[in-house]
Every structure is written in structure tokens, then in C-alpha cells.
């Protein structure tokens, strides 16, 4: 999460993080605004390994595309506005694939993995494009859908036509195709919730979730739980159990004991 002047610039990563943990988004926002607060961690070895595997999967898919003789235009990742302008120019040329295509519109921007040409007329000409992303998972996940719909909506602004489909190249080698009409409402509603959160962030608290293992704020949250003698220090305790205990007036380990 970052700001362009006074305007927040949100990305697919911000959206996926927000749906997993609003508290991490609150910490990201405070840091982006330059507010006093905790320092993020450097990132775990697991996160670095996962990133390296993801990059390798993406590179392998790009090599496969080139091997079959497709015309590929690669956008050298740098300044987002310049890259978005270069992506518009690349799409107008009608290449088979645009790699690392960039988008910037209003509050949203970022770099997609692959934009694939399809023979469906648009403002670009007798063709248009659809989004494809590489993911290590063995199946398409809800967070992937959020990213694909975002990039597809941004792509629609460029080509004057909403794509019908988006695609995920899974770590298993399988390609999953999603009909976007089935997911647009869900994904756009999630974006609206994040925009409202950024405009007027409510109080949040650290709560364990599935994203903790790879989160840059995990050490900070663990420190908060320790300092507060939190019930979340109980091994395998669930959010629901903590909520019930707190409702009964038991808010700390000392209370529980």
C-alpha cells in the first residue's frame, strides 16, 4: 500500500491481504501515511522460498509460451505510470501475449502476469485480451479471483471491452478458466470494502489467521499478544473460543487460570 501524493494507491496484494486480515492492512496504511508505529519484519525464509518458487513457475510458463512461437511483448517493470502507458501501446500492437502488463486507474494499479490475445473485437481492433496469472497452488483460490477480476476490470478500461474469461496456470501444470460474470460482484464488493476501510479505518486488533506465517507483521502481533497476556497465546485456541471467553469476562491468561 502506498500513496501517490495524497491519493492512496491500492493493489491486488493489498486487497488479498485485507480479506485475510484487516489488522495487517491497518498497519500497512499507517506505515504508508508515515505515522508512528511498529516496524515490519524483514520477511520469513518461508516467504522468500515461496516467492522464489513463484518466480520460477512464472518464468517456466513464459518460456513455454515463447517456445511455441508466440509473439511476446515484455514490459520492463519500473515506474507504474510509465509501465501502464507502455502496456497500452503494447496492447494496441496486437501481440499474442503481453508479459508483466501494468495498469493504473484511479485508486487501483499493479502488474499482471500475462495478457493473452483472443479474437474478439474491441476498441483495440479485431482482437482483445484476457488475463492469465501463474499460481503455485493446486487449485484456484478465492484470493486469486480477486486479483483476476481487478486486472480484468482495469484491462476493460484500456480495450473498451470487459473480458469474458480469466485464467490461472496452476503449479500442477493445469490451466483453470474462470467465467468472470460469476465473480465480478463478489470481487468488486471486496474492493469497495477496502476503499471504505482506507478512507476511514476502524480500530483493529491482531487476531491469528491463516496469513500469519507469511505476514511481515507477525513478530509485532506476537509481541502484542505476549504483552497483553492474550488468550491467543493458548495453543490451538480459536477465534470463536476467545470471543466467548471475552464475553464471559475472561480476557487474559491470568483470568483463564
Residue by residue, DSSP assigns 82-100 as HHHHHHHHHHHHT-SEEET
What is the pLDDT confidence band of residue 150, given thresholds at 50, 70 and 90? very high
Residue 97 has pLDDT above 80, yes or no: yes
106: left (phi over 0), alpha (psi -120 to 50) or beta: left
Over residues 17-39, the mean pLDDT reads 92
- Which set of grid coordinates corresponds to residue 134? 501463474
Mean pLDDT (the chain) is 93
Residue 172 has pLDDT above 80, yes or no: yes
Residue 5 has pLDDT above 90, yes or no: no
Residue 179 or 50, more confident:
179
Contact 136, 171 (CB under 8 A): yes
Give CA separation, 219 vs 39, 44, 175, 206, 224, in Å. 10, 10, 36, 11, 9
Which pLDDT value is given to residue 110?
94
Contact 72, 66 (CB under 8 A): yes
Over residues 149-170, the mean pLDDT reads 97
Which pLDDT value is given to residue 3?
84
Beta strands 128-134 and 114-118, pairing class? antiparallel
Give CA separation, 167 vs 13, 29, 53, 132, 141, in Å. 18, 30, 19, 4, 12
Q: Which pTM value belongs to this model?
A: 0.90
Residue 87 has pLDDT above 80, yes or no: yes
Which pLDDT value is given to residue 170?
92
Cα separation, 113 vs 20, in Å, equals 22
Question: Cell 487460570 identifies what position?
Answer: 257
Which pLDDT value is given to residue 184?
95
Which pLDDT value is given to residue 44?
67
pLDDT digits (tens, 9 = 90+) for 175-212: 999 999 999 999 999 999 999 999 999 999 999 998 88
Over residues 58-76, the mean pLDDT reads 95
Which pLDDT value is given to residue 25?
96
Which of 161, 165, 76, 174 has its CA nearest to residue 127?
161
Residue 73 has pLDDT above 70, yes or no: yes
Amino acid at each position: 500500500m502506498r500513496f501517490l501524493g495524497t491519493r492512496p494507491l491500492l493493489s491486488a496484494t493489498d486487497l488479498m491481504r485485507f480479506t485475510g486480515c484487516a489488522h495487517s492492512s491497518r498497519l500497512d496504511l499507517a506505515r504508508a501515511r508515515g505515522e508512528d508505529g511498529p516496524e515490519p519484519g524483514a520477511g520469513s525464509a518461508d516467504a522468500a522460498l515461496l516467492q522464489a518458487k513463484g518466480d520460477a513457475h512464472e518464468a517456466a510458463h513464459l518460456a513455454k509460451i515463447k517456445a511455441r512461437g508466440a509473439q511476446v511483448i515484455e514490459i520492463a517493470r519500473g515506474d507504474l505510470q510509465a509501465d501502464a502507458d507502455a502496456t497500452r501501446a503494447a496492447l494496441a500492437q496486437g501481440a499474442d501475449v503481453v508479459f508483466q502488463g501494468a495498469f493504473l486507474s484511479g485508486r487501483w494499479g499493479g502488474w499482471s502476469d500475462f495478457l493473452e490475445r483472443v479474437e474478439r473485437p474491441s476498441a483495440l481492433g479485431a482482437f482483445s485480451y484476457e488475463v492469465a496469472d501463474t499460481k503455485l497452488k493446486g487449485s484456484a483460490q478465492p484470493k486469486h479471483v480477486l486479483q483476476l477480476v481487478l486486472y480484468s476490470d482495469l484491462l476493460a478500461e484500456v480495450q473498451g471491452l470487459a473480458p469474458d474469461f480469466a485464467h490461472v496456470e496452476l503449479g500442477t501444470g493445469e490451466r483453470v478458466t474462470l467465467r468472470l460474470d460469476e465473480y465480478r460482484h463478489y470481487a468488486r464488493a471486496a474492493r469497495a470494502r477496502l476503499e471504505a476501510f482506507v478512507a476511514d479505518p476502524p480500530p483493529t486488533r491482531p487476531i491469528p489467521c491463516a496469513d500469519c506465517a507469511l505476514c511481515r507483521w507477525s513478530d509485532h502481533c506476537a509481541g502484542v499478544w505476549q504483552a497483553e497476556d492474550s488468550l491467543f497465546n493458548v495453543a490451538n485456541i480459536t477465534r470463536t473460543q476467545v470471543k466467548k471467553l471475552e464475553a464471559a469476562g475472561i480476557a487474559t491468561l491470568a483470568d483463564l487460570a
